Copies of this chain bind each other. A is one copy, B any other.
Amino acid sequence: MLELNTTRQPGGPPPPLPAPTPPGTEQQAEGAGILLQISMLVLAFVLGHVLRRHKIYYLPEASASLLIGLIVGGLANISNKETSIRGWFNFHEEFFFLFLLPPIIFQSGFSLAPKPFFSNFGAIITFALLGTLIASIVTGVLVYLGGLTYLMYRLPLGESLMFGALISATDPVTVLSIFQELGTDMNLYALVFGESVLNDAVAISLYRTMASVRSNDSSGQNLLLVILSFLETFVGSLSSGVGVGFISALLFKYAGLNVENLHNLESCLFVLFPYFSYMLAEGLGLSGIVSILFTGIVMKRYTFSNLSEKSQHFASAFFHLLSSLAEAFVFIYMGFDIAMEQQSWSHIGFIFFSILFIGVARATNVFSCAYLVNLVRPANRQIPMQHQKALWYSGLRGAMAFALALQAVHDLPDGHGQTIFTATTAIVVLTVLLIGGSTGTMLEALKVVGDGHNGRLGDESFVGTDGSTGPSYDEGTSSGSKLQMTLKEFHSTASLTALDRHYLTPFFTSQNDDENPDEATQNSRRITELEGHE
């Protein structure tokens, strides 16, 4: 649960103010501030578009937004009008948690392509659950040891582990947009995307667990309680999110709204559910972010197909639009903030070693988990070393780490929180600029960019219903071993897929609603085709 404890008014009719403010300067300044923000947003979109059009991949859209924020913040700093301009740029935490973050996270779940995601489900879960846990603990322990040995600012163990957890939330935006532009292997794309979506949920749950352990002063003695607390947050939020998603699927299946001239009502209700899920989890003391993420996944898989076609187009475009705007705004703000930050240079040691440590931690995460996954997978579906390297490289930090660092300022008021916030902001800016700028080069060096073969990812064509775009790992294997592999893989994910096919899809969508056996067979054949090599 995110703590939204900004100063607030009690609501209701506004209390009379002590004196009427003279009309003029203050309100105009506020208007000018928001105007500046909108102009920066427009500039970010236009600049991003121009850069993409000219195929300049070393400055992707997120970096462009960040740079615009940095430049405007720097100019404001130089012109010495810092306080007034910072006043303009009044970024309420509440605004961030209530309006910016939910659409970004929901869109992550909503845009998840089911096919490559489910066919790599085991690997993704390994990276996201076990890997994030490893990365968090390695980062936390290294930061703690670094403090002990006077290498860097000293944080207690609890705080170090909190920092480790929050900095382990990776951000898919920049890397994935470049993947899509260049066209890369579909399985690599699914791994990077799936991992970074799910590890947000794990990182939040870990962070909250560490925070509650720290405040209860029971660190270390009750490992079982820690694990239980983590599971409670994670599983509870997941269940509430999935539950709301299923309720929405049933509502749209039976309400009969997918007829002409009810599009607006349909869209209004559809748009309210994610937010409902977010707030339900917050109200239950769980994590709204984790909940809305799973609501997104479920709503895309089940509710979406119960909508009328017109509303499907609208809903996709709507959530895409909201998350684009929110994302650009978050990156602009982060750039602006780091340019405004006064004490950033006093933490330069902490920032430097943190970056080193998170690199080490991510390597531990990726290579050990890939080793485990490869132990289980058949020879022709091993994760190749280039993909592991690409996965390691793709671990840049974004909105989620920033959000948790904002949270840390509240949770740790004794200066540690501020240090974590400063370090996180700097790490986000550096990783976005450096990693984001070099991803294209990296992908080419690792030879995983599109070479025109079947499994290539280009402009989302992989989400189409064309069953022929199978995983590219199979290339070069005989059709016999292919079949064998298919069967093996089917068993490994059989429970989830079978559950989906035989119970969830017929129950929550109107696809298999009729008794016609021929059509049912056709439907299940179509689904089999969609799911390809499972």
Contacts and interface: CB of A to CB of B under 8 A. Distances in A.
A288 B31 contact: yes
Q: Which of A5, A6, A211, A279 has the most CB of B within 10 A?
A: A279
A326 to B, nearest CB: 11
Nearest to A215: B20
Given A31-B279, A35-B283, A267-B317, A21 B3 contact: yes
Interface stretch (A86-94, A125-133, A373-381, A428-436): A86-94
A89 B8 CA distance: 12
A34 interface: yes
A13 B324 contact: no
Contact of A272 (B42, B267, B310): B42
A428 to B, nearest CB: 13
Given A261-B459, A321-B267, A28 B93 contact: no
Q: Is the interface of A mostly helix, strand, loop or mixed?
A: helix
A500 interface: no
Interface in A13-64: 13-14, 16-24, 26-28, 30-32, 34-35, 38-39, 41-42, 45-46, 49
Nearest to A26: B5
A265 interface: yes
Given A31-B279, A282-B27, A12 B317 contact: no
Contacts of A8: 90, 92
A498 interface: no
A410 B1 contact: no
Contacts of A313: 310, 313-314
Given A263-B317, A415-B16, A21 B5 contact: yes
A368 interface: no
A11 B42 contact: no
Contacts of A24: 285
A212 interface: yes
Contacts of A23: 1, 3, 211-212, 215, 285
Contact of A4 (B16, B27, B276, B341): B27
Contacts of A3: 21, 23, 27
A325 interface: yes
Contacts of A90: 8-11
Nearest to A280: B35
A5 to B, nearest CB: 5
A425 B279 CA distance: 29
Given A12-B91, A35-B283, 19 more contacts: A1-B28, A4-B27, A5-B26, A8-B92, A9-B90, A12-B337, A12-B340, A13-B418, A16-B418, A20-B412, A20-B413, A22-B215, A31-B280, A42-B269, A45-B269, A46-B269, A271-B321, A310-B313, A318-B318
Interface of A: 1-14, 16-24, 26-28, 30-32, 34-35, 38-39, 41-42, 45-46, 49, 83, 86-93, 98, 211-212, 215, 257, 261-265, 267-269, 271-272, 275-276, 279-285, 288, 310, 313-314, 317-318, 320-321, 324-325, 337, 340-341, 406, 409-415, 417-418, 421-422, 459
9 contacts: A8-B92, A11-B90, A12-B337, A20-B411, A23-B211, A23-B215, A28-B282, A32-B279, A49-B265
Task: Please name the 10 residue pairs, one residue from A and one from B, whose CB atoms are nearest each other, closest first.
Answer: A31-B282, A31-B283, A11-B90, A32-B283, A16-B413, A35-B279, A34-B279, A314-B317, A38-B276, A12-B86
